[in-house]
Amino acid sequence: GKPSYKWRRVLLKVSGEALAGDQSQTIDPKITMAIAREVASVTRLGIEVALVVGGGNIFRGSSWAGSGGLDRSSADYIGMLATVMNAIFLQATMESIGIPTRVQTAFRMSEVAEPYIRRRAVRHLEKGRVVIFAAGTGNPFFTTDTAAALRCAEINAEVVLKATNVDGVYDDDPRSNPHARLLHTLTYQDVTSRDLSVMDMTAITLCQENNIPVVVFNINKAGNISKAIKGERVGTLIGA
Ligand code: UDP
C-alpha cells in the first residue's frame, strides 16, 4: 500500500533570514529553489503543505520603530509588506518548477494575491496546492511565528515546522559557546521557563494551548525540509 507519513498537513515557517542565505543578498534564489524542490518532493507524496514566510531579511518593525518619526504600528505594517515580497518570490520559484501555489495575504492586496479566507486555503491544500500565507497575522505587534501558530491551528495542520539557520534548540548560544548542546526534545514548559529563544512567547503559548508540536530545524542542510515534513527525526521537537 501507500506509505504513510507522520503528518498529513503541515505548516512550514520560513523566516526572512533563512531566505537570505549567507546574508550577502536580500533573497538567495538558490535557497528559494531548494525550498521549492523539497516541498515538491513531499507534495508528490500527498502531504499537504502550507507556508508562513517572515520578512526579517527586508524589514523588521521593532528595529525601525522610532526612527524618522515611524511609530511601531506603521513600522510593523512595513514589516508585513516585506513578508508579501518574500511570498511572491517564493511563489514564483515554486510555480517555475510546476508546483501550483497560492498566496493569501492577511490584509487585502487583491491585485497581487488572494485575501486570507480560511476555508479557501483548506480547499487549495486539499487540491494539492501549496498555500503561502503572507502579511503575518495582519496585526502590528505580532510576529510571523505567531502567524504560523495561528494559521496552523486555523487550518488544522498538525505541526509547525520552523526552518532556521541553526540545527535546532541548544542549551546555550552555539555561536558563542562551542560546548552548547543540541536539545532533541523539549516541552513547552522548558521553552517558556528556561527562556530558550525558540519563538516568541505569544507564538509558543498559542502552540501549547492548541497542542501543536513544533519542530525547529536547519534549513541549510540539504534534505532537511523534506525530512521535517515527512516527520523524520530532525532538529528539536517541542511538545507537551
Ligand atoms: N509583523 C507584524 N505582524 C505580524 C507578523 C509580522 O507586525 O503578524 C511585522 C513585524 O514588524 C516583523 C516583520 O513583520 O518584524 C517581519 O516579520 P518577522 O520579524 O516575524 O519575520 P522573520 O523573523 O520570520 O523573518
The residue ranges of every structural domain in the chain are 9-170+215-233
Largest CA distance in the chain: 62
Ligand 1 centre to CA of 44 (Å) is: 30
Q: What are the backbone dihedrals phi and psi of residue 178, each rounded to the nearest 5 degrees, phi first? A: -65, -15
Q: What is the CATH number of domain 9-170+215-233?
A: 3.40.1160.10
For a pocket test of ligand 1, which of 144, 150, 152, 165 has the largest count of ligand atoms closer than 8 A to its C-beta? 144
Residues of the chain with pLDDT under 70: 1-3
What's the gap between Cα 57 and its chain centre? 14
pLDDT for res 1: 56
pLDDT for res 194: 86
The identity of residue 12, as a single letter, is L
Question: Could you give the CA distance from residue 91 to residue 192 in angstroms, rounded to a whole number?
Answer: 34
* Closest ligand 1 atom, residue 138 Cα: 8
Question: Could you give the CA distance from residue 40 to residue 90 in angstroms, rounded to a whole number?
Answer: 13
Strands 9-14 and 48-53, bridge-based pairing = parallel
Ligand 1 centre to CA of 18 (Å) is: 14
Q: 165 in helix, strand or coil?
A: coil
Residue with cell 527562556: 195
Question: Could you give the CA distance from residue 230 to residue 237 in angstroms, rounded to a whole number?
Answer: 14
User: 130 and 50 in contact (C-beta within 8 Å)?
Assistant: yes
pLDDT for res 56: 96
Question: Could you give the CA distance from residue 126 to residue 72 in angstroms, rounded to a whole number?
Answer: 38
pLDDT for res 197: 80
Ligand 1 centre to CA of 110 (Å) is: 21
Nearest to 62 by CA among 74, 52, 72, 49: 72
- pTM for this predicted structure: 0.96
Give the binding-site residues of ligand 1, using a 6 Å CB cut-off: 15-17, 54-56, 60-62, 75-76, 79-80, 82-83, 136-137, 139-140, 142-147
Ligand 1 centre to CA of 86 (Å) is: 12
Ligand 1 centre to CA of 55 (Å) is: 6
For a pocket test of ligand 1, which of 23, 60, 90, 206 has the largest count of ligand atoms closer than 8 A to its C-beta? 60
Strands 130-134 and 101-105, bridge-based pairing = parallel
User: 13 and 162 in contact (C-beta within 8 Å)?
Assistant: yes
| Residues 6+ away with beta carbon under 8 Å from 151 | 11, 50, 52, 121, 133, 157
Helix intervals (H) in 44-126: 61-64, 72-96, 118-126
Please name the residue whose Cα sits nearest to atom 23 of ligand 1.
56
For a pocket test of ligand 1, which of 143, 146, 219 has the largest count of ligand atoms closer than 8 A to its C-beta? 143
